[in-house]
Amino acid sequence: MSDEYRYIGKPTPRRDAPQIVTGSATFFGDLVVPGMLHAKVLRSPHPHALVTEIDVARARGLSGVKAVLTHADVPDWRAGTPRHLRVLDSTVRYVGDPVALVAATSEAVAEEALGLIDVSYELLPAVFDLDEALAEGAVQLYADSPGNVLRPGTRWFGPDCLTGLAIGDVEAGFAEAEVIVEGEASYAGLPNPLPPESPGVVAQWEEPDRVTLWLSTQAAHQEKMIIHAAFGRAVDVRTIGGACGGSYGSKFMSIQLIMQATALSRAARRPVRLGLTKEEHLAAFGLRIGSRVRAKVGLRRDGALTAISGEWLVDTGHYSLTTQAQVAVGCGEAQVALRCPNWDLRTKVVCTNRPASGIVRGFGGQELKACLLPILSRALAELDLDPFDFLRRNYVKPGDGYFWRDGRWYDYRGNDYTPAMDAGAEAFGWRERWKGWLRPTEVDGPLRTGVGVGVHGNVDIGESVSEAYVRLDPEGRATLYSSASEHGTGQPSNLLKMVAEVLQLPLERVTLTAADTAVTPYDMGPVGSRGTYAMGSAAIKAAEEARRQLLTLAAANLDAPPEELETRDGRVFRLGRADSGAAWMAIMGPERTIMGHGRFEPDFTLANCMMTFVEVRVDTETGGTELLRVVNATDAGRIIDPAGLENQLNGCLGSAGIDTALFEETIIDRTTGRVLNANLIDYKWRTFAHLPQMRNVVLETPVDSHRFHAIGVGEVSTAPGPAAVLMAVSNALGVPLAEYPVTPEKVLAAWKRAMDAQAGEATR
């Protein structure tokens, strides 16, 4: 399909590849600002306590220390939903909560100063799970959130933001059902998305009320917008995003770090660098939300869902910045994956004394569907329905509709993903490998193999506003002004390909500005798979507008109307006469530039789709599980960059993806509140030596998105896998599982239940 294009669909080198492989790319760890101080944070050893006394005199007297701040010294800046999060607080609410801040001339001096701070605490009761937090008489984390339940909804998504689903008549739906099943499932292992580079910020305060922030972020403008609100809209904020060493959503917002570094810079009157160690990153930064769903499902024998009702409880940790937004998106995505006319899904966002939840790829939909599918599986098993056929039937089709995160109804106008699903099933050999519910595909002594399937889709490929400028210079060069920080996906290179394609310029003549809110126009950033459609649309429109201005200017020089002109390689010529015409320099002159502007408005009428098939082997003697095969199936519209897409899909394992069903989790001591595996030895993650067989099946059916008919599918590659793995392990063992991850202890306990059930059958 790419033959008609010069760059689109063709493998091209990433623009930043030479800098990355030679070590010249500037990541946060390389950033040096003249006069920069180094910050360290004193953190609470208690999960819940009042800071009754704090003595910082010795720390302030240490040579090289330029500022020491406590909750009594910092501005009353606040963030969160509601605005609970302060720079520092007199109450600490998890192990690792900041108590004091130090800025010094070196990290060593700052670290030494922490040891000179004396703190007295009054210990308070702590709650570590949903039932404790919701119990009558439980300790309250915030006075304005009774019952530890946060107010629903978020102002970002408007007054009708989804806080649950109340659609149709569930009682009538259950009356129509041929089987009704009730169950509970949880996805609460709290995996860390684990980008290689820890979060960090350099803040430089300028009097009276201006701050410049250098961030490891994928969304410079969004960081500015949120921190500007946290500062009470009284501070002029400039954010600059450089190369970001991975994010997977988690470094989309580093609000507390920003507030802390800014407060220190304001106090010390010098730039301040605050970066997390890997231990702090794992124990005191954003985790995935914890989810538990209790649901009742009605199903007909033909695979049609008739009703779903229940409650989705969400553990947000000690506060929420985006959890209510994740609930809204999750409720929307559930409708995309499960066509059901009758819903009654209630939700609660609950605070507990653990590290807070943040943005992680999958953003609500992964957490909800990872719980819903195991419950649905029980109904499918009762009717002996193939899960692939069920998911294939019930995924959104053209002409269907859904309520999205803003509470508005949208009619779906995108592709039918059935052919992609069929192609994936054929590549996996699903029809041959599927043996029925709770039946292994193979048994070899203690080794039992099972298969599973999951699906995920996201309408946020068209979320929020994107803007871009494209400037043409007379030398035959173009510059894209966009807030497209590189965060590991190669998306900036893809945007340059789109601009080069529109202008027919050699790729090396198209460059991208740094993401700098003082220079680049507004953009939400490359999140939610929106880079290809939303950001791409803005870049394309900007390039088209610049091209239109160029051809209009050239029309007088070449004595031809603009519609009869073309441009290629920095020259303008009449259609079909590429050997004639004039160079841009001759048309523009040396003292002119042309600037085109492009803007994308939100569009929630398209969705992407990823279906994942897995095969897992379980050892019933050790409880160990091994992921043998993964097949991902999708339709990308038109592929922009084949190698980049392949790598995105191969990233389905870690980064809070498939492996959250196998071994990735944050383990918290439920008596002390401490994270027990805050290091890269005890935190289990997959190495190259343990990769499964991978195959990605990608169809190219042009979608009505933008000029190149493409949509993004990278972010959703991780989301269908956890539910597919849980299904596969359940089938291998012959007993249903409803909790992630499937650690050896859980596998052995499930196998014992299966053996006990068999023994009971034999004695009857």
131-140, 234-243, 249-258, 393-402: which has the minimum mean pLDDT? 249-258
> pLDDT class for 29, splitting at 50, 70, 90?
confident
List CB contacts of 158: < 8 A, sequence separation 6 or more.
Answer: 406, 407
CA distance 499 to 196: 30
* SS3 state of residue 500: helix
Give per-residue pLDDT as tens, 370-429.
Answer: 999 999 999 999 999 999 999 999 999 999 999 999 999 999 999 999 999 999 999 999
**Residue 105 near residue 37, CB atoms below 8 Å:** yes
Give per-residue pLDDT as tens, 204-229.
Answer: 999 999 999 999 888 888 888 899 99
CA distance 650 to 642: 12
Q: Closest Cα to residue 371, out of 258, 293, 439?
A: 293
pLDDT of 764 reads 63
DSSP states along 308-339: EEEEEEEEEET--SSHHHHHHHHHHHHHHHS-
Beta bridge partners of 315: 290, 350
List CB contacts of 288: < 8 A, sequence separation 6 or more.
Answer: 190, 191, 192, 193, 357, 360, 362, 367, 656, 660
Using alpha carbons only, give the angle 412, 314, 188 rounded to the nearest 5 degrees. Answer: 105
pLDDT of 286 reads 87
Beta strands across the sheet bearing 477-481 = 510-512, 477-481, 466-473, 594-600
pLDDT of 11 reads 92
**Residue 607 near residue 457, CB atoms below 8 Å:** yes
3-state secondary structure 8-24: CCCCCCCCCHHHHHHCC
DSSP states along 54-119: EE-HHHHTSTTEEEEE-TTTS---EESSSS-EESS-SEE-STT-EEEEEEESSHHHHHHHHTT-EE
> pLDDT class for 635, splitting at 50, 70, 90?
very high
What are the distances in angstroms from CA 193 to CA 97, 289, 403, 599?
20, 12, 28, 31
CA distance 92 to 712: 40
CA distance 421 to 162: 29
Q: In the chain, what is the straight-line distance between the N-terminal and C-terminal CA atoms, in Å?
A: 63
Q: Is the pLDDT of residue 488 over 80?
A: no
* Residues 491-501, mean pLDDT to the nearest whole number: 94
CA distance 534 to 544: 15
pLDDT of 18 reads 85
Give per-residue pLDDT as tens, 118-163.
Answer: 999 999 999 999 999 999 999 999 999 999 999 999 998 999 999 9
Q: Is the pLDDT of residue 654 over 90?
A: no
Task: Provide the 10 A C-beta neighbour count for residue 398.
Answer: 10
Give per-residue pLDDT as tens, 693-752.
Answer: 999 999 999 999 999 999 998 888 999 999 999 999 999 999 999 999 999 999 999 999
pTM score, whole prediction: 0.95
List CB contacts of 748: < 8 A, sequence separation 6 or more.
Answer: 620, 623
**Residue 565 near residue 575, CB atoms below 8 Å:** yes
Q: If you search the block for the tokens 């202008």, which residue do you land on?
A: 503
* Residues 57-62, mean pLDDT to the nearest whole number: 98
* Residues 651-676, mean pLDDT to the nearest whole number: 92
List CB contacts of 736: < 8 A, sequence separation 6 or more.
Answer: 374, 377, 378, 381, 438, 730
* Residues 241-254, mean pLDDT to the nearest whole number: 79
Give per-residue pLDDT as tens, 280-291.
Answer: 999 999 899 999
Q: Is the pLDDT of residue 603 over 90?
A: yes
Give per-residue pLDDT as tens, 19-28.
Answer: 888 888 888 8
Burial 210-249 (b: 16+ CB within 10 A, else e): ebbbbbbbbbbbbbbbbbbbbbeeebebbbbbbbbbbbbb
Percent helix, strand and coil across the chain, each to the nearest 5? 30, 25, 45
> pLDDT class for 621, splitting at 50, 70, 90?
very high
> pLDDT class for 655, splitting at 50, 70, 90?
confident
The conformation of residue 238, written as its DSSP 8-state character, comes to: E
Cα 386 from chain centre: 30
* Residues 288-295, mean pLDDT to the nearest whole number: 96
**Residue 9 near residue 642, CB atoms below 8 Å:** yes
124 phi/psi in degrees, rounded to 5: -120, 155
pLDDT of 633 reads 98
The conformation of residue 223, written as its DSSP 8-state character, comes to: H
Q: Quote the percentage of the chain above a pLDDT of 90.
A: 82
Give per-residue pLDDT as tens, 435-445.
Answer: 999 999 999 99
Mean pLDDT for the chain overall: 94
pLDDT of 342 reads 98
Cα 297 from chain centre: 28
Q: Is the pLDDT of residue 1 over 50?
A: no
pLDDT of 594 reads 98
3-state secondary structure 187-222: ECCCCCCCCCCCCEEEEEEECCCEEEEEECCCCHHH
Domains of the chain by start residue, with CATH: 17-26+464-600 (3.30.365.10), 31-124+193-284 (3.90.1170.50), 290-461+605-759 (3.30.365.10)
Q: Is the pLDDT of residue 250 over 80?
A: no
